[in-house]
Chain A
């Protein structure tokens, strides 16, 4: 209410801290009892840390966030270098390996010998005496060693550079190491997951980038101007949010012409998700703008004659950047799930493009889940990605306010 000075209770304001141990007052002439020397070591002395350093420390102290950051780096690297990481071409199916189970890497033979180099057993199909269906059984008489950094089938690194170096594989083209099993057409699921990740993970980033652009600008203008423009925008946002997400996605996605190429469909899906997802960010940005626009430094710019564009560009948006980054990071998993859901239902990305959601749709039969459970591996990747983004985003959010 009043305008007097306020100090923040409990927080020591710029106060003493010395790099040198203080000489206590227990010299001669003191009327007080000699006190215990409470000196502070050099290493412990108060340092002036920049805000950046404080933020870093805050982030690093959150181990879950750091772990998630590593996981995300690993995932994105994996998909960026898909050809290198995946042992086989994702479209290359071996029909006799239809629904073949995973071939785990082994380090110890049946006889109990330990080998440094991992290997896989061969697979042979036998007719089960119980179900009379063909089953895969490991053939322990055949051992295929797994080699690392070998040349395999050619591919294009990053889609541009022709290369043949692969992370791992067997040298024998007839013997496959499939870490996560094979699908109905005998294609290695792990390779398909790695390639599919390109779509799933990029949709998140590209979609959110568009959302951030749209949401920040509209939110800021809405909050700053207020009045009829703000009301209009708010009603539009509310209208969009009223619709249940999935049916709305479905409707709009069904509108994408079937004649479009897979690349265009991908673009369409991304734009679609962004157009429906910007509202959350816009609302948050609007709220931030409302609280910022009456701050003294904004008023100072106004009083100097700054134009609205300048105020938004130089004062409002930079101050909101950390909030926007956090919100954006937390919006990525939502977008990923959105794309996965659409593709799973068959109205998202189309083959021959792959995404984790699309791969999951192959698993959408009771028989498959019961008999070939490894087909659900893509779900694991979605889960890990979403969790990692959420923990990472939380870490960012804590980091953005290092003074709490």
Chain B
């Protein structure tokens, strides 16, 4: 199921040429596996992530999309080394050269952790309720011994201003802030040590729509300013369309499609991608179209048999799909895109229902910057 390194390289290099970067990618994940021991003895282990490979360049946003059980959160946590991967390599381009995060011990990880930070989904759980906002924001600086206490607090004030909270927030406690404000504190904390890579684990899913938009705009602006790369985990294709350069589609822990953002929406190659797009609400000609409903539900990750994980629900499945695991290969119509489907080259999914472009919303007098 894993892409050959050549295929990955080819895909990434095409992207890089488009993006103008010539260097080695910031992050290269190869054959990542994550198995969890079963709850009961005798059951097979839970395969949360199955041979996932991708690259991430400088200043780029790669979204990892999937529904529940797809393993997207687990991937993010593996890259942050909150889990130790069962197999595979996570090659990070550090100052001194490339290192494989997957096998490093805790002490060796520490300097690398200065360059990789994480944003969490639940604003209530991601901040220590007993600490003041200022202390929360400077903690990474403290851990790495950067600056004096006064300098760190100065930095905290500047960061809180930058994320739109105002320097006075420095003495507040998390319970005195709203969900959106807490999420901004999380962003300020992640930014404090100026990471190169930010892993965003569904950072806006738990927020109200209007706050979501503010935070998304903030993340985009910060990416420009700081030149960070984002590994953005999400289930919402609307958000993914807004923020991504490239997209990785996951189902039951395996990569189904890896593509540039435009090509994903314009010409989906994998039936699951197509199904996701069809399941999203959208408006055509002023009416909300009827969503086409994919039957069945995601089976539990431990109930995988041989063959393509999506075969049970795929409307285009053939016999081969149930017995043979498809490899992640370049797509015939757009070699920069990788697909894991036996029938990818012959299926024409893009011409089924045209992907509706949402009409621009009516004129907005309420034009406020984020």
Contact = CB atoms under 8 A, between A and B. Distances in A.
- Are A and B in direct contact (Cβ within 8 Å)? yes
Interface of A: 1-6, 14, 48, 50-51, 295-297, 299-307, 310, 314-315, 318-319, 321
Contact of B130 (A299, A304, A306, A319): A319
B52 interface: no
Contact of A304 (B120, B126, B139): B139
Given A304-B117, A305-B113, A319-B128, A296 B122 contact: yes
20 contacts: A2-B67, A3-B73, A3-B202, A3-B235, A5-B207, A14-B178, A51-B173, A296-B120, A296-B126, A297-B127, A300-B120, A300-B189, A301-B143, A303-B81, A303-B116, A303-B118, A305-B113, A315-B128, A318-B131, A319-B129
A51 B80 CA distance: 33
Contacts of B129: 319
A303 B82 contact: yes
Given A3-B68, A297-B128, A306 B205 contact: no
A4 B205 contact: yes
B170 interface: no
B83 to A, nearest CB: 10
B333 interface: no
B196 to A, nearest CB: 14
B304 interface: no
Contacts of A306: 139, 143
A297 B125 contact: yes
B335 to A, nearest CB: 33
B113 A299 contact: no
A305 B145 CA distance: 11
A107 B120 CA distance: 72
B168 to A, nearest CB: 15
Contacts of A315: 128
Contacts of A2: 67-68, 235
Listed residue (B116, B130, B186) with the most chain A CB atoms within 10 angstroms of its CB: B130
Contacts of B202: 3
B121 interface: yes
B68 A305 contact: no
B352 to A, nearest CB: 27
Interface in B179-195: 186, 189, 193
A310 B67 contact: no
A46 to B, nearest CB: 15
Contacts of B77: 299
A177 B69 CA distance: 79
A177 B100 CA distance: 84
Contacts of A305: 109-110, 113-114, 140, 143-144
A302 B143 contact: no
B320 interface: no
B175 interface: yes
Interface string B190-227: 00010000000010011100000000000000000000
A253 B366 CA distance: 78
B127 A299 contact: no
Interface string B78-122: 001110000000000000000000000000011001101110111
B200 to A, nearest CB: 12
Interface in B160-176: 173, 175-176
B202 to A, nearest CB: 5
A6 B202 CA distance: 14
A3 B77 CA distance: 15
Contacts of A4: 205, 235
Listed residue (A1, A50, A296, A310) with the most chain B CB atoms within 10 angstroms of its CB: A296
A305 B193 CA distance: 12
A297 B126 contact: yes
A5 B80 contact: no
Nearest to B69: A1
Nearest to B80: A303
B171 to A, nearest CB: 13
Nearest to B113: A305
Contacts of A310: 143
B198 to A, nearest CB: 11
Given A4-B205, A305-B109, A305-B144, A300 B126 contact: yes
Contact of A302 (B67, B82, B128, B176): B82
Listed residue (B128, B173, B205) with the most chain A CB atoms within 10 angstroms of its CB: B128
Contacts of B82: 299, 302-303
A45 to B, nearest CB: 18
Contact of A51 (B73, B109, B175, B193): B175
Contacts of B193: 304
Contacts of A14: 178
A329 B141 CA distance: 37
A177 to B, nearest CB: 52
A17 B81 CA distance: 45
Nearest to A5: B206
A51 B175 CA distance: 8
Nearest to B204: A5
A51 B114 CA distance: 34
A5 B205 contact: yes
A342 to B, nearest CB: 38
B109 A299 contact: no
A304 B205 contact: no
Contacts of A295: 125
Which 6 residue pairs are nearest across A and B when measured between Cβ atoms? A305-B113, A296-B126, A2-B68, A296-B125, A304-B140, A296-B120
Nearest to B121: A3
A394 B315 CA distance: 60
A48 B176 CA distance: 9
A183 to B, nearest CB: 51
A299 B118 contact: yes
Given A1-B69, A306-B139, 6 more contacts: A3-B73, A3-B202, A3-B205, A14-B178, A299-B82, A315-B128
Contacts of B176: 48, 50
A55 B120 CA distance: 29
B370 to A, nearest CB: 20
B125 to A, nearest CB: 4
Contacts of A296: 120-122, 125-126
A296 B68 CA distance: 18
Contact of B117 (A48, A303, A307, A314): A303
